[in-house]
Structure 1
Amino acid sequence: MAFDLVFFGGTGDLVWRKLMPALFQAFRHDTLPEGGRIIGVGRDDMTDEQYRQQIQSRFEQVEGDKRPNPEEFARFASLLCYVRMDLSKPESYAALASRLAERETDHVVMYLSTAPSLFTTVCEQLAACGLNTPKTRIVLEKPLGHDLASNRAINHAVGKAFKEQQIFRIDHYLGKPAVQNLFALRFGNALFEPLWRREHIANIQITMAEELGVEKRGGFYETTGALRDMVQNHALQLLCAIAMEPPINAHADAIRDEKLKVLRALKRWTPDTLSQHVIRGQYSAGNVEGKAVPGYREEPGVSPQSCTETFVALRTEISNWRWAGVPFYIRTGKRMASREAHIEINFRPTPHEIFKSPVGQVNKLVIHLQPKDGLELHLFAQGQSKRGQGSGGATLSPVHLDLDFDKRFGSERVGAYERLLLDVLDGRLNLFVRSDEQEEAWRWVEPILRHWSTDTIGPRPYTAGTWGPSASSAMIARDGFCWSEEI
């Protein structure tokens, strides 16, 4: 299956840090289709060989056994070439068309790893020079717009050049192995489905925490913030995977139809819920792993008076029969106590207690996304009874079953970007987001953005290396629950 994969932004951070290593791993695993060519596009003036040398120098920063040895890279480098382009000039696209015409392929993938402001221009120019053929697929990186109007404008422009079946809106969280196993857990086993509803689940928590700050991306983050960067896409996609009804089959549109129903069923915001159920924060200077780190406003590229949020916690509900009344909590932030992402399904207590359960403990299922990848099922069990003590009045102890996917299936499993790139090359849309999903997510998020634009309080400060502002704990405590680390 001969293909050309074109990276617009081919000298950028995402390409060398994520996309090229993912393609190399597919090459190493022998899952990258044969007959491929990878074309980097950028403004710098360089030859194919210079581009290969640049990628090789970046690969030297890859840690451990994922770094290619010289012989491996030499074979992989034979796939790489480079085209210099100014994306604002039509004549540059003619040069790309000429390079693509050098050989016959089954399909061409255009991966837009650029600023979203360039998406419309690139798609219009691709159409103008005839590069939007039926065998072309286009991949769009997030963020796709900064609000509903800009998202619609981008989708409209892309839709004029390409059919929906040719458009792959990527969300790398959907490629994570643990998220794939979430679908398998729910729809490939009979064990949990009878319990996956309001009668048995007390609350669901989604946490996506990072120890790092904004690093060198302060300028980008100033115009984005945690709500746009993490909640509107990653968090809501995870929520959909948890809450969606079983699709009629495993086809892309069947899955995306059910996710769309969840987004449409999310409770709409009111002035009261916006004030009480949405918390924004911003990290201040502190210590992380014994090292002093600056506050957000001291980061390069950040305004000293910035009101950009680096933390969001919110509470929402889904207005349908399965989930009515069950609170869903989402929190995400930078410079937090640890780097981890997980989903916690907290079950209701037994309807009639005949044992003494541990205080504050509940049965729960924890789905770990990073850095650990696996499942934990938390139960109660009775240990050895003391002499003279019968079962009545015995105290239960918490125990858990731990399934580590890396240990069970091997640590060389397919990574998120590797899986998604292979799906693009195969034309599988299951793990990609449809335009109406994106619009519905923006429609739900926009009232929060409008509320913040008139809110005089601003983001609440939290010390770097903690779990965010105390208002986040107060929000969940009003329902009688707490975050997992607070038990």
Structure 2
Amino acid sequence: MIDRLVILGATGDLNARYLLPALVALRAGGHLADRFELTCADRQGWTDEEFRRWASAQLDRHAVMEPTEARKAIADSARYRQADATNAADMASLVAGGGPVAVYVALPPGIFPGAVAALGAANLPPGSRIVLEKPFGENLASAVELNRLLAGVVPEHAVFRVDHFLAMTTVQNVLGSRLANRVLEPIWNSSHISEVEIVWDETLALEGRAGYYDGVGALKDMVQNHLLQVLCLVAMEPPLSLGERDLRDRKIDVLRSVRPLTDDDVVRRTHRARYLAGRVGDRDVPSYAEEEGVDPRRRTETFAEVELALESWRWSGTTFRLRSGKALGHDRKEVAVRFRPVPHLPLGLDEEVVPNVLRFGLEPESMTLALAGIGSNARTLAPLTLTAQPAPSELPAYGRLLADVLLGNAALSIRADEAEEAWRVLEPVMSAWSRDLVPLAEYPAGSDGPARVRSN
């Protein structure tokens, strides 16, 4: 187990909201060795004490449910260093002085190549690992180049391309529910399932993240990584085991089976939009183009929907719809598996049968199955809902990912070919959108999204 962690981009949102709270959870659960060392680095000229005060304030805000002692221990033990992630001398200073180190590159994707090159020149101790946060590159060509750079620094098994969705309890339950239950696996195919929706709609707007988000947009921020990863777990063939090779081989099979999209497909099967001024709940939200730090000329979308088809024996004929939007009227974060209706209803009833829907709530975590039954007068159908609440995870998603990084368990990490294949799936969409083949629609903040898109 590695007991040294260096976080690059340590004063950013990712460290404040997720990485530091995850380390607190690991500390509280006894998952960190007493000799564990945390070094945080960024461009600001802070002292150790200034960073520790900042870290304490962030943990008081984002890790309030964790024990005070664990919060204090992580904040007090952190060392801060001013450093440029693309400077080899700075990187050499950060990683020197001990055994193997895990370096978490918590920076915008455009900085990844420079940071990896600097780490390559920094003489990383043998056995070290590099951790990259999605998106992995900015398109297929940059992902290929990034993988080439990484291969020249550390072996593939030491590269952790992390996507925290894979460590979420309910996302794991998508796989567990279908593989561990005979009642589901025999009907987990296109003969019984008409459509799968993977949705991350949120009421949150930009929330001060223009520096990152305006150069990425909803398609790259959510669909290309998080939602495609969930698609892999929904659609993959049963792996021989949940070990890293078996699991990742089956995921890559899914991505390779996605039918390539033509320009006509993109026009018919994708939507993009951005929000206008409106009201979400009790707060007024300005138009995205008027948010601080946004360059309207980029025409960045805050809503993206893509409809995919898989060319495989199991899934030919099933529609997969991936969708994500910001500043919407309601949070909807789920996987909705829609089953085909029964072919005949021998009950003497005239009404149409509502198809069964199995929903995996991603946030908050839940599972529901919508059924139909006979109503009170025996002449009508009535909806029935079965609800299950997954057992809470011992660790938050980022806590599990960091534990895997330190232990060297790469099962939930994304392999090089998988990262490239995910870009291949969406390259036609990016190309068509860049040529304005799909108009950039608009929707009022607080609404259900663009008028052409339905919400279920």
- Which residue is equivalent to 2:187? 195
Could you tell me which amino acid in structure 2 is paired with residue 39 of structure 1?
A: T
SS of match in other structure, 1:470: coil
SS of match in other structure, 1:401: strand
Query: Structure 1 pair 278/333, CA: closer, same or farther in 2 (3 Å)?
Result: same
Distance across 2 between alignment mates of 1:256 and 1:58: 35
Deviation of residue 188 (structure 1)?
A: 2.0
Distance across 2 between alignment mates of 1:121 and 1:76: 29
Distance across 2 between alignment mates of 1:139 and 1:172: 12
Deviation of residue 144 (structure 1)?
A: 1.7
| Pairs within 5 Å for 1:39-54 | 39-54=39-54
- Which residue is equivalent to 1:268? 260
- Which residue is equivalent to 2:336? 344
> Any gaps of 5 or more consecutive residues in structure 1?
474-482
Could you tell me which amino acid in structure 1 is paired with residue 405 of structure 2?
A: V
Pairing partner for 1:300 from 281, 292, 304: 292
> Within the alignment, does 1:31 sit opposite 2:24 as a pair?
no
| Pairs within 5 Å for 1:60-71 | 60-62=60-62, 64-66=64-66, 68-69=67-68, 71=69
Could you tell me which amino acid in structure 2 is paired with residue 402 of structure 1?
A: T
Could you tell me which amino acid in structure 2 is paired with residue 144 of structure 1?
A: F
Distance across 2 between alignment mates of 1:90 and 1:436: 27
Deviation of residue 317 (structure 1)?
A: 0.8
Deviation of residue 160 (structure 1)?
A: 0.8
> Any gaps of 5 or more consecutive residues in structure 2?
none
Distance across 2 between alignment mates of 1:72 and 1:250: 32
SS of match in other structure, 1:161: coil
Query: Structure 1 pair 451/179, CA: closer, same or farther in 2 (3 Å)?
Result: same
Whether the aligned pair in 2 keeps the contact of 1:175 and 1:420 (CA below 8 Å) is: yes
> Within the alignment, does 1:402 sit opposite 2:387 as a pair?
yes
- Which residue is equivalent to 1:467? 448
Distance across 2 between alignment mates of 1:460 and 1:95: 49
| Pairs within 5 Å for 1:9-408 | 9-62=9-62, 64-66=64-66, 68-69=67-68, 71-98=69-96, 101=97, 103=98, 105=99, 107-131=100-124, 133-355=125-347, 356=349, 359=352, 361-370=354-363, 372-384=364-376, 386=377, 394-405=379-390
The two structures have a TM-score, normalised by structure 1, of: 0.89
Could you tell me which amino acid in structure 2 is paired with residue 120 of structure 1?
A: P
Whether the aligned pair in 2 keeps the contact of 1:204 and 1:345 (CA below 8 Å) is: yes
Deviations for 1:70-96, whole angstroms, at most 9, x for unmatched residues? x44333335321222123333323322
Distance across 1 between alignment mates of 2:151 and 2:324: 32
SS of match in other structure, 1:471: coil
Identity %: 36
Residue-pair matches, total: 455
Deviation of residue 57 (structure 1)?
A: 2.0
Distance across 2 between alignment mates of 1:358 and 1:455: 43
Whether the aligned pair in 2 keeps the contact of 1:357 and 1:397 (CA below 8 Å) is: no
Deviation of residue 164 (structure 1)?
A: 0.6
Deviations for 1:148-200, whole angstroms, at most 9, x for unmatched residues? 11111111111111111000001111111101111211222222100101111
Pairing partner for 2:432 from 446, 451, 462: 451
Query: Structure 1 pair 88/303, CA: closer, same or farther in 2 (3 Å)?
Result: closer
Whether the aligned pair in 2 keeps the contact of 1:314 and 1:331 (CA below 8 Å) is: yes
- Which residue is equivalent to 1:441? 422
The two structures have a TM-score, normalised by structure 2, of: 0.95
Deviations for 1:217-267, whole angstroms, at most 9, x for unmatched residues? 224222211111111101111111100000111211111111111111111
Deviations for 1:295-336, whole angstroms, at most 9, x for unmatched residues? 111111223455211111121110111010111111111111
Deviation of residue 341 (structure 1)?
A: 1.0
Query: Structure 1 pair 139/88, CA: closer, same or farther in 2 (3 Å)?
Result: closer
Distance across 2 between alignment mates of 1:352 and 1:159: 57
Whether the aligned pair in 2 keeps the contact of 1:215 and 1:299 (CA below 8 Å) is: no
Larger-gyration structure (1/2) = 1
